[in-house]
Structure 1
Amino acid sequence: MADDPQSTDVPGTAPPRKRHRIRRFFLGIDAFVDTALWKSGSVLRRVLEGYDAFLRRFRAKGIWRVLTELSSDGLTYGLAGFIVVLAFAQPAFEATRYADWKTTDDFAVTFLDRFGNEIGRRGIVLNDSVPLEEIPDSLVKATLATEDRRFFLHFGIDFLGTFRAMVENARAGGVVQGGSTLTQQLAKNLFLTNERSLSRKIKEAYLALWLEANLTKQEILKLYLDRAYMGGGVFGVTAAAKFYFNKNVRELTLAESAMLAGLYKAPTKYAPHINLPAARARANEVLTNMVQASFLTEGQVIGARRNPALAVDRSQEQLPEYFLDWALEEVKKLARRFPALARDRIVTVRTTLDPALQHQADLAVETVLRENGKLRDAREAALVSMVPDGAVVAMVGGSSYGESQFNRAVNALRQPGSSFKPFVYMTAFMNGYNQTSIVPDRPLHIGNWSPRNYGRSYRGPVTLRTALTKSINTIPVRLSLDFGREKIIETAYKMGVTHELENSVSLPIGSSEVTVIDMASCYSVFANGGYKATAYGILEITNSAGEVLYRREHDEPEAKRVLPEDKVFEINDILVNVVEAGTARRARLDGVVAAGKTGTTNAYRDAWFIGYTGNFTTAVWFGNDDFTSTRRVTGGSLPAMTWQKYMAYAHNGIELARMPGVEAENLPRLASSAPAKLVAKDAEAPQPRVLKRRTQDLLLRIGKDLRLLLEQTNAKAETGPAPTDYAAAQ
């Protein structure tokens, strides 16, 4: 029976009957699926046929069909677009997650100079300082008539107003009306920047809707009035009323309210302390807007037209605007580190600013630009001066704060040119070289690039001292090939460069961009003997109750050494020679040891001089905002001249500090000079050109006491010293 198939089973296979049952099972599943799909299709077909039959009753024809199709497609694409732009807007909503978003970075700051005298104010007035109901009705109406007449009718985005603005702009062939609502402007002020981009407008629109959903109209209006920038470095209508009219905001007249409302569009252009005729013309437009919006009648505004507002004359005031802007940012940074400061936002800040030096810095930049700027095609300049530990005593961020609030001393990134070379030589000194080391100055090719010297000539073998003094280009590039550009970058970061440096072959001759304030900080490391000198402007912060929230000498660690002292001595010796016999001879100071380095970039786009003494480090830059070339302005010309004008004044009547590693007696020109401090005991020695600042302060105090005495006695008094603590002023 071995041939009987019923009696044999192949191992690993199912018996025939079992296979048959499995086959029938799967055939049943297949039949079920087929039947279900057929029935579902039939049901769906009947539903669609019924739906189509139903729609035939409402079938549109002609123009109605076109409108229907367009509306349908518009809704479809609109929904898709809504989802896309919502995705782009998500980063903006991150800012709304903070519980204190209404008060984030909202400081009301009174700034004092290093001597304790008020020099200006910054920040916005807090939300509850003046209730909305106490703000004049004329100011509220002027704001709404000018910025958003339909404010109480829309929900954050005014589609009708936007369409009207588009039509008016098309008629005028340019932008004459804005489409942003007051809520959108507030969203920008609270959460966004002033960049002009589509992504910002998307974020602005969504945040406006979010604000409308979370705040009342009155709260939005109040926040806007407190947050809007009003020019002159002030924010909010309360601060603006005080700044422009020396009034409490509650006391504003209709003419004054119209002038303030005119500032929203262009605070700098229409600021009355800068251009009063333009401010009055703009205020007249605001009055017209109020009439057109039916808020007032022509008869009610005629008095304001005939008697326009008169702003406080601030033409003689030279506030350190650029410094105050920077100092406010420094306060905000400290608030993130010190919780007590973050909680109390009405503060008084004593800064490092020296008003006499600031005035001279402004004067030096203004004078050189006025005398040479137009002739040499140089329209902008920046200056930062600090003591060697990093305390900023003067700052100039541009030719005119009224025309541009952009701080070129802090925020502008420009190529430093040859002023970057000291970083290369310091790195060389820390890697086995010294100033007597000889390196050949000859043509050098790195791929398709070849560094060229200023005169297109080569000197052959030269010492590093000569190479840096004469600002030879091939030498620092050749040095970088020896020890690597990474080490140069590391040195620059250690010394104080904060912006990322590009590791390119031209890095050693200053192709990577830096800021003026960073260069001043870096050169201060040379001036103080090798210690980190991060720029700072805040000495002490107190709250409205007089409690000290921050004091630098207690709350900041001691500066760390970042460069070897002996190497600093070497670099100082060479950079003194740059001023005495090199490219910066125009920066010489009579009787004062000065060191520094010039810098000029390709096509004369940037010109630098960064110099220092034992007392001060000052960095000066000249150029143009649009990166156009100047007319052969080099670091040894206008920057060195400006530096010399400023530093000559700064060293009058002060005790001269010794520059690390440099002896004045070893410099023939200085040894033959007669510095006022070194020969003070000589009765025939020349007197300083200006009085000491302490003497000036003392005389001012005497004058105040005398005036008070004259007022009290109401009689003529013989001039004499008032009762003053002279010992404290010595």
Structure 2
Amino acid sequence: MDENKQAKKSGVAAAQAAVKEIEERERREIRRRKRRIMLAITAVILLLLAGGATLLTLSIRSQLDFSRKADRSPSVQIADFDGTIMTNVQGHYSQDVSLITFPKRLQHVFIAAADPGFYHHFGAGFSDVMRILSGDAAPGSTITMKVARSFFRMPGSGTIRNAEEMLVALWLEARFDKDTILRSYLERSYVGSGIFGITAASRLLYDVPAHKMSLHQAAVLAVAMNDPANLNPLQFPKASAQAANMVLQKMEPDDTLTPAQINALMRDVPQLAPRAPREEGQAQYVIDLVMDEVARRVGYTSTDLHVVTSIDRDLQEMAQSAVNEVSRVRLQPRGADQAALLAISPDGRVRAMVGGTQYDPISRNRAWNVRYFPGRMIKILPYYYALNDNPDPAQWVPDTRKEVEGWKPVNPDRQYRGQVPLRDAFARDVNTVPVELTHKFGLENMRDFARKVGIRSPLSRDIRSVVGLDPVTLPDIARLHTLSLNGGISPDITLINEIRSTAEGQPLLYQRVARGHDKMLTDEAMLAVNSMLAGVTDPQVRLDRPFVGFGARAGRGSDAWFAGFTADLYTVVWVGNDDRSPAQAIRPDVEVASLWRLFMLDASQGFSIRSVARGTSQRLIEQDGVTDMWKRHWVDPNPPLQN
């Protein structure tokens, strides 16, 4: 019996041992299988990473252009809309910067302004890495990352581009020494006004070679390279000089620069070298803006460029002639020294632009980026909103003086008529109705609507903004007024149709394509707007075709306007003084209107006489958003004589 029990126990133990061995073998097999799977997954991941890195490298390399033109600066050939050459700009791109002849003191100025830790990092700073990891789209801060950015064929922005620039920066640091990277920075960085690098900037701005610049002159260029949009010395001489002083103040004294010398430099204001008048005259405002736009669209280039603008050279000459004649005869005798004119086709392409009565390289383009108080010019905004809600220009609205959001509007004639038709309120230029409409629909809704219909200048959260409290630019007003001319869509106001390299086989660098904006006016509202505008046109201002036109005075007499359009052309004119002094003798519906009318009479010749509504519908059918349709239905009123 005992032997049987013992045998059973032995058998059970053997069976259990066998089961355990089988289970252990299975576990070992599972572990081996898992290891094989993990190794396979790891191999696949490594292959994917390697492939991704290779593809990323190839993708980035295909976007880079390391070519240099050391023998001469690339030229930019500028043509009007039909290819007629307007001018050929040379000398705006630096080339062959030599650190051997460029003094160390001047080099230190640029390093102090752009990247004080330049010699102590490997291409990207910790802040750059954290910025990319956090998804911040702000560009890199080091000199090397800025150089990397300049090597991309096309400008770009965003987190992915920043990561690509950081990879290129690390590659540059691994391959080149610091002097080579610094030389590229001094050669390729944008200063503003279409100027790249120190050799071009020192000659165009100071009329001296780069190595002969003073420390303060160098500091001005250094801060401009950091922020060309806000510290361009040609447009912001005071701001750039103040920023340059801050750079000099941060520089540490050494054997060649004492604290007393630094203080003396900070009291010095570098004078920009006056440029000789150019044969283009007031068209130079157009050329300067083209160069700035080319810089923004293409960046630094080592090849010659051909730029086709939307400018009509005939209209440009007409605009310059009209501004000069009316300024001399009617505006200046009445106390207004300056005038600006912007003419666009309804799709937003600029056809003529005059930035001032005389070209001055150290003044801003009054027709493009200077803000003025708009007064009546902007009051149409709440009327648009109201007509979208109820497309009846005869709807009744209250013209009563009551306090709205802490302000009691006052009408220009100080008369209040109770309930009035919407079109009458607009024709009388009252302040009560726009404020009441804004209060009804909501100020935030109106501000959002203003942004969507093309007001790019900042508007305050003050209800008075709808009656002209905040200054705006001429393009802001042009986008706002041409809404009904462009099918209810705010047009992109552009100056350039295309940019291409003159080198063989190079792809198109830029082409103007109409962006898909939301329709901001309904079809019914557009008809109502045209009906309402017809009632505001001054009967004393006459053309040989249907048109809309009205004037405004704002800024306590400092700003006088007249704006209007035919089926083919919109033009806005501003008149005033740069020092903001009032020109009370200037009447918008007389002197300013005479300038607008003189230009529009000449500019309209050759176009078929059409109603505004008919011209709009024909254009919307024909245009494709890319092709420049200007003068498609134009007949030369003065054809050349046939032999």
For normalisation by structure 1, the TM-score amounts to: 0.53
Distance 1:657 1:631, change over 3 A: same
**Preserved contact between residue 223 and residue 243 of structure 2 (Cα < 8 Å):** no
Give the structure 2 partner of residue 564 of structure 1.
Answer: 522
Equivalent position to 2:383, from 414, 425, 429: 425
- Residue aligned with 2:605, SS: coil
- Which AA in structure 2 matches 1:645? L
**Preserved contact between residue 391 and residue 536 of structure 1 (Cα < 8 Å):** yes
CA distance in 1, matches of 2:485, 2:568: 8
| Shift, 1:111, TM fit | 0.6
Give the structure 2 partner of residue 513 of structure 1.
Answer: 471
Residues 85-105 of structure 1: CA distance to partner in whole angstroms, max 9, x if unpaired?
xxxxxxxxxxxxx999x99xx
| Shift, 1:129, TM fit | 7.6
Whether 1:552 aligns to 2:587 is no
| Shift, 1:417, TM fit | 0.3
Equivalent position to 1:595, from 548, 557, 560: 548
Equivalent position to 1:481, from 417, 439, 443: 439
Equivalent position to 1:533, from 491, 495, 499: 491
Whether 1:331 aligns to 2:294 is yes
Distance 1:446 1:186, change over 3 A: closer
Percent identity between the aligned chains?
Answer: 26
Give the structure 2 partner of residue 458 of structure 1.
Answer: 416
| Shift, 1:543, TM fit | 0.4
CA distance in 2, matches of 1:131, 1:152: 10
CA distance in 2, matches of 1:208, 1:601: 50
Equivalent position to 1:631, from 559, 571, 584: 584
Segments of structure 2 that go 5 or more residues without pairing to the other structure are 1-63, 110-212, 257-269, 617-632
- Residue aligned with 1:610, SS: strand
Question: Does 1 or 2 have the higher relative contact order (CA < 8 Å, sep 6+)?
Answer: 2
- Which AA in structure 1 matches 2:562? F
| Shift, 1:381, TM fit | 1.4
Give the structure 2 partner of residue 117 of structure 1.
Answer: 84
CA distance in 1, matches of 2:251, 2:79: 37
Residues 603-656 of structure 1: CA distance to partner in whole angstroms, max 9, x if unpaired?
212111221111001111111222211124343233222111111111112223
Distance 1:653 1:365, change over 3 A: same
Equivalent position to 1:322, from 277, 282, 285: 285
Distance 1:416 1:273, change over 3 A: closer
CA distance in 2, matches of 1:393, 1:479: 35
- Which AA in structure 2 matches 1:200? A
Give the structure 1 partner of residue 373 of structure 2.
Answer: 415
- Pairs within 5 Å for 1:58-69: none
**Preserved contact between residue 361 and residue 396 of structure 1 (Cα < 8 Å):** yes
Distance 1:319 1:440, change over 3 A: closer
Residues 90-125 of structure 1: CA distance to partner in whole angstroms, max 9, x if unpaired?
xxxxxxxx999x99xx97421101121221244644
- Residue aligned with 1:361, SS: helix
| Shift, 1:518, TM fit | 1.9
Distance 1:123 1:512, change over 3 A: farther
CA distance in 1, matches of 2:637, 2:96: 38
Give the structure 1 partner of residue 245 of structure 2.
Answer: 201
**Preserved contact between residue 385 and residue 395 of structure 1 (Cα < 8 Å):** yes
CA distance in 2, matches of 1:112, 1:130: 30
Distance 1:344 1:575, change over 3 A: farther
**Preserved contact between residue 467 and residue 475 of structure 1 (Cα < 8 Å):** yes
The count of corresponding residues between Structure 1 and Structure 2 is 435
- Residue aligned with 1:450, SS: coil
| Shift, 1:353, TM fit | 0.5
CA RMSD of aligned residues (A): 3.9
- Residue aligned with 1:621, SS: strand
- Residue aligned with 2:483, SS: helix
- Pairs within 5 Å for 1:670-689: none
CA distance in 1, matches of 2:294, 2:219: 28
CA distance in 2, matches of 1:625, 1:558: 37
**Preserved contact between residue 529 and residue 660 of structure 1 (Cα < 8 Å):** no
**Preserved contact between residue 373 and residue 554 of structure 2 (Cα < 8 Å):** yes
- Pairs within 5 Å for 1:23-34: none
- Residue aligned with 1:493, SS: helix
| Shift, 1:513, TM fit | 1.6
**Preserved contact between residue 546 and residue 609 of structure 2 (Cα < 8 Å):** no
Whether 1:267 aligns to 2:266 is no
| Shift, 1:586, TM fit | 4.1
| Shift, 1:576, TM fit | 1.9
**Preserved contact between residue 373 and residue 379 of structure 1 (Cα < 8 Å):** yes
| Shift, 1:361, TM fit | 1.0
| Shift, 1:542, TM fit | 1.5
Equivalent position to 2:314, from 351, 356, 363: 356
Structure 1, 642-651 or 602-611: larger mean CA deviation? 602-611
- Pairs within 5 Å for 1:143-292: 180=215, 183-184=218-219, 186-188=221-223, 190-191=225-226, 193=231, 194=233, 195-196=237-238, 197-203=241-247, 265-268=271-274, 271-273=275-277
Whether 1:395 aligns to 2:395 is no
Give the structure 1 partner of residue 567 of structure 2.
Answer: 614
Whether 1:650 aligns to 2:606 is no
Distance 1:445 1:534, change over 3 A: same
Give the structure 1 partner of residue 50 of structure 2.
Answer: none
**Preserved contact between residue 187 and residue 208 of structure 1 (Cα < 8 Å):** no
Distance 1:694 1:327, change over 3 A: farther
| Shift, 1:421, TM fit | 1.3
- Residue aligned with 1:585, SS: coil
- Residue aligned with 1:489, SS: helix
**Preserved contact between residue 428 and residue 434 of structure 1 (Cα < 8 Å):** no
CA distance in 2, matches of 1:382, 1:448: 35
- Which AA in structure 1 matches 2:605? N
Whether 1:574 aligns to 2:532 is yes
CA distance in 2, matches of 1:506, 1:609: 21
Residues 463-519 of structure 1: CA distance to partner in whole angstroms, max 9, x if unpaired?
001111121221111211211122222222122111121121212212122100121
- Residue aligned with 1:506, SS: helix
**Preserved contact between residue 341 and residue 574 of structure 2 (Cα < 8 Å):** yes
Whether 1:472 aligns to 2:435 is no
CA distance in 2, matches of 1:125, 1:531: 37
Give the structure 2 partner of residue 641 of structure 1.
Answer: 594
- Which AA in structure 1 matches 2:328? R
**Preserved contact between residue 420 and residue 510 of structure 1 (Cα < 8 Å):** yes
Distance 1:621 1:352, change over 3 A: same
- Residue aligned with 1:119, SS: strand
**Preserved contact between residue 395 and residue 409 of structure 1 (Cα < 8 Å):** yes
- Residue aligned with 1:587, SS: coil
**Preserved contact between residue 413 and residue 513 of structure 1 (Cα < 8 Å):** yes
CA distance in 2, matches of 1:357, 1:157: 48
Give the structure 1 partner of residue 24 of structure 2.
Answer: none
